[in-house]
Structure 1
Amino acid sequence: MPIVRTGELVAEAQEKGHGLAAFNVITLEHAEAIAAGAERAGAPAVLQISENAVKFHGGRLGAITAATAAVARASSARLGLHLDHVESVELLRAAHPEGFSSVMFDASKLSYGDNVKATADAVRWGHERGIWIEAELGKVGGKEGEPPLDAHAPGVRTEPAEAAAYAAATGVDALAVAVGSSHAMTERTAALDHALIARLRDAVPVPLVLHGSSGVPDAEIRRAVASGMVKVNVGTALNTAFTAAVRAFVEAHPSTVDPRKYLAPAREAMAGTVAHFLGLTSSRA
């Protein structure tokens, strides 16, 4: 099936009052698992390649993008392709020739004023090329290389009035907000501020994005979608499933040297995780 534009999938989800889950790709097995999980769930999804994943692949965007896009086109599921957490302007500008319809440009580490300027420049560049741009306001925290962040500390969460002003000043198409989750959580213990999500939904004229969803319990994700969250990003949960499956296989078969033997159950574990999250986000049940 042709790759679907991310903005189209987000708009459809918002119109239906559903969420749209977006999953991070690191290896070919991740991409295959996301496609398989989406097919199993009968729901659309987004395959995301982050700047950190690009660094893992030697700073070369082309190969992992081509492989991920090929998996998406071969799938019967409706899948989007998204470049995630881009801080490098050079990488941002590589998105268009590589066929991405959307980019999350991350200037959240900058001061508010510098964030607005950098993001507005990214939006201007992207919109001239038909690229949908997501940005972040607030401090979700937990990314590699960042100090630990208390998601409940004063000043961390996104303020609705500031978010509305930011969206107007930058022209972004979607906004990732800090509402109690954190990146790279391996335990699902995050408690979200659902009243804040509702206030942000009412104040901000673009779809809201939840980062760090791997650490959010099922009921909290369902409630977040019902409160107004649209795009729901999942990364660490796939890696947790992958690693657990590999570890279990190798411990049970210590003489195994063929990686296909342990990558197959790892891929299947990730596909099950994808289907599970899609079940949470693609309906309001």
Structure 2
Amino acid sequence: MPLTTTGELVTRARAARTAVPAFNIITLEHIEAVVTGAETVGAPVVLQVSENAVRFRSGRLLPLARAAATAAERAAVPVALHLDHVRSDPLLRQAADAGFSSVMYDASPLPYDENLATTRAAADWAHSQGLWIEGELGEIGGKGAHAPGARTDPAEAQAFVTGSGVDALAVAIGSVHAMTTRTAALDHALLARLAAAVDVPLVLHGSSGVPDGELTAAVAGGIAKVNIGTALNQAMTDAIREYLDDRPTAVDSRGYLGVARQAMASTVERTVRLIRCV
């Protein structure tokens, strides 16, 4: 199936009052697992490559991007490619040529005025290349996510969206990146105020740490794109650890990578069913 665009998938999901699941990928096994899980459910999905993943791959975007694009083009469901958490302008400028239809530009650690100005510049460039762009306002990562002032303010969000020109906004409502326990409690009242304040789709980051009920309530409350990364890595690592514990003399990587890929595919399937309510 030809590559689709993130903007198209998110727009369609928002109109249907549901969300598009977007999974961060690091290896070929991640890519295959996400596509397999989505095909099992029969639902669209976004493959995301983060700036950290590019750094892990020796700073080279194209090998992983080409693998993701090839898998997407051969998938039985619509698949889009998204460049995630970009802070490097040189990396941002590789997005279109590498096959990505969208990018998340992350200037959220900066003071508001600097976040707005740098995101505006990134959005202007992205739009000139036909890219859909996501920005972030508030503090999602790390311990500060629950500190006073870390949550996204609705009035600031409205001004930020208008001033930056972003097509979607990642908001801080209580989720935290890299959680390995599903104990995050979301602020649904704040989400309702944000959904009423801005006219672009809202994105939830750090969704691996969000319990089922909280996640489905967030989608019902206006989240249109749900990012998942750590849950895949956790499934992969647990499967490899169990495989090698049971087979201490194993050396063929196909054995443990195979069970890891299947574990990730099962996680994708479960997550897509939950988010898409299918």
TM-score, normalised via structure 1 length: 0.96
Q: Equivalent pairs: percent with the same residue?
A: 57
Structure 2 residue aligned with 1:146: none
1:153-172 → structure 2 map (5 Å cutoff) = 153-172=147-166
- Rounded to whole Å, the distance in 2 between the matches of 1:264 and 1:41 is 20
Which residue identity lines up with residue 162 of structure 1 in the other structure?
E
Structure 2 residue aligned with 1:88: 88
* Length, aligned pairs only: 278
The one of 216, 233, 236 equivalent to 2:230 is: 236
Give 1:151 shift.
Answer: 2.7
- Rounded to whole Å, the distance in 1 between the matches of 2:273 and 2:155 is 32
Structure 2 residue aligned with 1:145: none
Residue 39 in structure 1 maps to residue 33 in structure 2: no
Which residue identity lines up with residue 189 of structure 1 in the other structure?
T
Structure 2 residue aligned with 1:26: 26
Residue 10 in structure 1 maps to residue 4 in structure 2: no
- Rounded to whole Å, the distance in 2 between the matches of 1:88 and 1:150 is 23
Unaligned runs of 5+ in 2: none
- Rounded to whole Å, the distance in 2 between the matches of 1:89 and 1:151 is 26
- Rounded to whole Å, the distance in 2 between the matches of 1:206 and 1:220 is 22
Structure 2 residue aligned with 1:116: 116
- Rounded to whole Å, the distance in 2 between the matches of 1:151 and 1:190 is 11
Give 1:150 shift.
Answer: 4.1
Structure 1 residue aligned with 2:245: 251
The one of 175, 184, 188 equivalent to 1:190 is: 184
TM-score, normalised via structure 2 length: 0.99
Give 1:130 shift.
Answer: 0.5
Structure 2 residue aligned with 1:267: 261
- Rounded to whole Å, the distance in 2 between the matches of 1:6 and 1:253 is 41
- Rounded to whole Å, the distance in 1 between the matches of 2:237 and 2:133 is 32
Structure 1 residue aligned with 2:73: 73
- Rounded to whole Å, the distance in 2 between the matches of 1:161 and 1:120 is 18
Give 1:152 shift.
Answer: 2.3
- Rounded to whole Å, the distance in 2 between the matches of 1:77 and 1:242 is 23
TM superposition outliers: structure 1 runs of 4+ over 3 Å = none
CA RMSD in angstroms comes to 0.8
- Rounded to whole Å, the distance in 1 between the matches of 2:57 and 2:44 is 26
- Rounded to whole Å, the distance in 2 between the matches of 1:230 and 1:53 is 24
- Rounded to whole Å, the distance in 2 between the matches of 1:110 and 1:12 is 32
